[in-house]
Structure 1
């Protein structure tokens, strides 16, 4: 059985300038089996076809919130209500697991300084570890893991690919390289224009989780929908 780990981020992973309104970096992973992903693709594309008559529309969290680009139609409150109802229903009813890594950049700098390892790579290592724990808990044999990551640039992608190769070669503190290779782990960098609905789901999920991490008391209905999907081990959530 093939499993996909779709990865998208919210916030700037750089440490030089910190936005006080959004001082965190989150890398969000969505784990789905191949069959469950096909169901999500169909559901997302049905929403796109219904509103735009075209499945090529790309769901992007910021554009949706700001009603920008294709999402200017959401300035019509009736259309907006219908869109959110269908989108929330799909996000709630689809079968997937969320594993995210959130880094408070101010706390990170105070502890490690600005010259420490790339926070994207640290977040990715954490998510890969927990993904292996999740796959270990599934009884099915012959599982294959594909990391699906949106292209960011040749230099950035090459750096990240080297980091992933290092993970496969030497493992992490909790996961041996042999354990990683058990799942035939492979990585794919894809262009945003490829319109990968799994990456779009990761983008939609990342922002409300980041907001929740910054203010757990603030009303956050989007997080309430996502919360049951977050990976748990015992009393801990990831």
Structure 2
């Protein structure tokens, strides 16, 4: 059995996968992998996120969700009704992200450009996973992880969807794709996908959720002010844009 890696990877997305009726206001699909040193994650990031929840809600059952924060829904409806509270919450979240030790490997797929360029385009999700895994692998090699098992944690999207993604994940790792470009050699490191539902309240998945949309917005509107991206900028290992 391979030794466990010193790193843990959490993955989330922004945007839908549909290639029909593409939203022209947000035609992108972004997948973000957040790579944490396990010791720092367990001893610093997780306690910091729990402390934030106790501070603002009095309990740690809240799940930080970018869409709900932005739309002022769910657990965020009451707290964000007060502008001062909203600004303080955003500031505290940004502080946690700033202090957290992690790196980002991401991919942004322009779906409108994809269907324009290819008559029979590949799945945006599989493309994004492929590109992110390539960049993750280079990062892990650089951090001395060959011979170890790296767990890559996704938010569950349903039994059928999880099964399909796991098959695609393992095809990519095995080099069994037919996309026509050079196949990466992932053989020196073992990558194991894990699928956990949102309700498990995993801190790393919540960080990945907060990261994905700001990355996509920076690609779509690079000149627009983007406070969260500014916080993330020093943590970005690579963002692959396609096509």
Q: TM > 0.5 between the two?
A: yes
Pair 1:165–1:52, CA change in 2 (3 A)? same
Indicate the residue corresponding to 1:212 in structure 2: 218
Pair 1:127–1:230, CA change in 2 (3 A)? same
Indicate the residue corresponding to 2:184 in structure 1: 175
Alpha-carbon distance, 1:116 to partner: 2.4
Indicate the residue corresponding to 1:102 in structure 2: 108
Moved over 4 A (4+): none
| Structure number with higher helix proportion | 1
Alpha-carbon distance, 1:167 to partner: 2.1
* SS class of match (1:69): coil
- Is residue 58 of structure 1 aligned with residue 67 of structure 2? no
Cα contact 1:171–1:177 (8 A) shared by 2: no
Supply the distance in 2 between the matched residues of 1:166 and 1:29 (Cα, whole angstroms).
Answer: 19
Supply the distance in 2 between the matched residues of 1:16 and 1:154 (Cα, whole angstroms).
Answer: 24
* SS class of match (2:75): helix
Alpha-carbon distance, 1:219 to partner: 1.0
Segments of 5+ residues of structure 1 without an aligned counterpart are none
Alpha-carbon distance, 1:139 to partner: 3.7
- Is residue 36 of structure 1 aligned with residue 40 of structure 2? yes
Pair 1:140–1:178, CA change in 2 (3 A)? closer
- Is residue 200 of structure 1 aligned with residue 209 of structure 2? no
Indicate the residue corresponding to 1:15 in structure 2: 19
TM-score, structure 2 as length reference: 0.89
Indicate the residue corresponding to 2:93 in structure 1: 87
Alpha-carbon distance, 1:141 to partner: 6.5
| Residues paired across the two proteins, number | 230
Structure 1 residues 92-140: Cα deviation after superposition (integer angstroms, max 9, x where no partner) = 1110001110011111001113x32211011001101100100111146
Cα contact 1:7–1:30 (8 A) shared by 2: yes
Alpha-carbon distance, 1:91 to partner: 0.4
Indicate the residue corresponding to 1:111 in structure 2: 117
* SS class of match (1:152): coil
Cα contact 1:3–1:143 (8 A) shared by 2: no
Supply the distance in 2 between the matched residues of 1:171 and 1:129 (Cα, whole angstroms).
Answer: 14
* SS class of match (1:22): coil
Supply the distance in 1 between the matched residues of 2:33 and 2:62 (Cα, whole angstroms).
Answer: 22
Supply the distance in 2 between the matched residues of 1:228 and 1:120 (Cα, whole angstroms).
Answer: 25
- Which of the numbers 102, 123, 132 marks the counterpart of 2:128? 123
